[in-house]
Amino acid sequence: MEVAEEVLSIAKAARKASQALSYLPTSIKNQVLNQIADELSNNTDYLKRENEKDIDDAHKKGLSAALIDRLTLNDKVIKGMIEGIREVVQLTDPVGETVRMWRRPNNLLVGKVRIPLGVIGIIYESRPNVTVDAASLCLKSGNAVILRGGKEAIHSNRALAGIMQEALKRNDVPEAAIQLIPIVEREAVYEMLKLEDLIDLIIPRGGEELIRAVVERSRIPVIKHYKGVCHIFVDAHADEEMAESVVINSKVQRPGVCNALETLLIHQEIVPSFLPRIVARLEKEGVEVRACEKGRKTVPDLKEANEEDWHQEYLDLILSIKVVSDIDEAINHIAEYGSMHTEAIITSDYSNAQIFLQKVNSSVVLVNASTRFNDGNQLGLGSEIGISTTKLHAFGPMGLNELTTLKFVVYGNGQIRD
């Protein structure tokens, strides 16, 4: 079969499955999820054998150790997937919730009811655990999913998808609820991105290059996040001990992730005491500090931060520091250089806390807490399917609710329009 034809037939099957899925009882969805978890556990050896084929190919192709690490399905990763599914079982099913209902002057009763989006396409790179994480969130929220993983993980992904489809079949749920595109050519992705009548949402998960390529070609709405240039502003009136602890946690705890701190803004009044203190601690933690001119007057040995640094998502043990003369300068710096991901203020001043929360329009804005809390689990949404830095549909971490939309339902008794 031609690539275009095969992708089209997968998408059509998904669309058809999505109709039945949209009103599938929660109990059945949970039963399928529990059986998937059981079968992953029963088939650990099989999964590791299939994964071994991908690892062998990766070695042959000379892929990097980091990539091979992400590709590997060992007992720990498989256990993590199983635990992830059990957590999704515990989450409240969002489908069917009436979020609001009101009566009109003509006695029409109007409500907004949560329904699945329909068909979701996930385009991702090497991690095979995304196959299971994404599929379980889509199933729980009543969506059909089309998975398009990286070609390096094709054997692992096929094995995982096979186990999930088996569980669907055993419960008389359409197997097309969870489908993997088995075609390794990139053309399959491009064909998928054209099918706006059949697929409702595309979520790309991977590096900026992958995401830009998807956005450029897609006629289907895409929820994405390019990067996180996250800021902390340490205000004049800040508890220095708290500021130190939050800055270190934000920068050091896991520097390679999108909600890690990249630029620290410090009010000039607190610079004399706080800057030397935080620099000493950062250097002790192995962080390279780059500072603006004002900062380098207080701590002369620091490397210079240039214009490029303010745009930078280091994803590494590097931090740029800028001294600002007041909260407005901090807010303006964030508006100019930030990526609308995560920003925090450390302050004991009530009014500055409120100003920061009101004027900074990033997906998560915090007072006196680590930027690392921009995470669906940490904020109480349960498992997340990703973080969005586009404001449409979802802004910030996306949980099950963000995989749904609201339709209007109207109860009448013969009303017509004048």
Binding residues for its own copies (CB under 8 A): 19, 22-23, 96, 102, 104, 108, 110, 113, 115-118, 196, 200-201, 215-216, 219, 221-223, 239, 242, 245-246, 249-250, 253, 335, 353, 357-359, 361-370, 372-374, 378-380, 390-393, 395-397, 405-417
Residue nearer to its own copies on the CB measure, 291 or 364: 364
Residue nearer to its own copies on the CB measure, 191 or 200: 200
Rounded least distance, CB 209 to its own copies, Å: 15
Measured CA to CA, the distance from residue 283 to residue 290 in angstroms comes to 11
Rounded least distance, CB 198 to its own copies, Å: 12
**Residue (of 245, 177, 189) closest to 213 by Cα position:** 189
Residue nearer to its own copies on the CB measure, 131 or 339: 339
| DSSP annotation of 216 | H
| DSSP annotation of 153 | G
Rounded least distance, CB 253 to its own copies, Å: 6
Rounded least distance, CB 400 to its own copies, Å: 15
Contact criterion met (CB below 8 Å) for 200 and 220: yes
Rounded least distance, CB 240 to its own copies, Å: 12
Residue nearer to its own copies on the CB measure, 165 or 370: 370
Rounded least distance, CB 106 to its own copies, Å: 9
What is the three-state SS of 9-58? HHHHHHHHHHHHHCCCCHHHHHHHHHHHHHHHHHCHHHHHHHHHHHHHHH
Rounded least distance, CB 84 to its own copies, Å: 19
**Residue (of 290, 230, 226) closest to 260 by Cα position:** 230
Residue nearer to its own copies on the CB measure, 94 or 128: 94
Measured CA to CA, the distance from residue 71 to residue 88 in angstroms comes to 23
Rounded least distance, CB 309 to its own copies, Å: 19
Measured CA to CA, the distance from residue 12 to residue 23 in angstroms comes to 19
Return all residues near 257 (Cβ < 8 A) that are at least 6 apart.
Answer: 228, 315, 372
Residue nearer to its own copies on the CB measure, 239 or 326: 239
Residue nearer to its own copies on the CB measure, 233 or 395: 395
**What are the C-alpha distances in Å from 301 to residues 297, 308, 314, 324?**
9, 20, 21, 20
Question: Residue ranges of the alpha helices (H) in 61-176?
Answer: 65-71, 75-90, 129-140, 154-170
Rounded least distance, CB 107 to its own copies, Å: 10
Reduced to 3 states (helix: H, G, I; strand: E, B; else coil), residue 70 is helix
State the first-to-last Cα distance of the chain, in angstroms, to the nearest integer. Answer: 54
222 forms beta bridges with 202
- Backbone phi, then psi, for 122, in 5-degree steps? -115, 125
Residue nearer to its own copies on the CB measure, 14 or 154: 14
Contact criterion met (CB below 8 Å) for 274 and 243: yes
Residue nearer to its own copies on the CB measure, 156 or 250: 250
- Backbone phi, then psi, for 241, in 5-degree steps? -65, -45
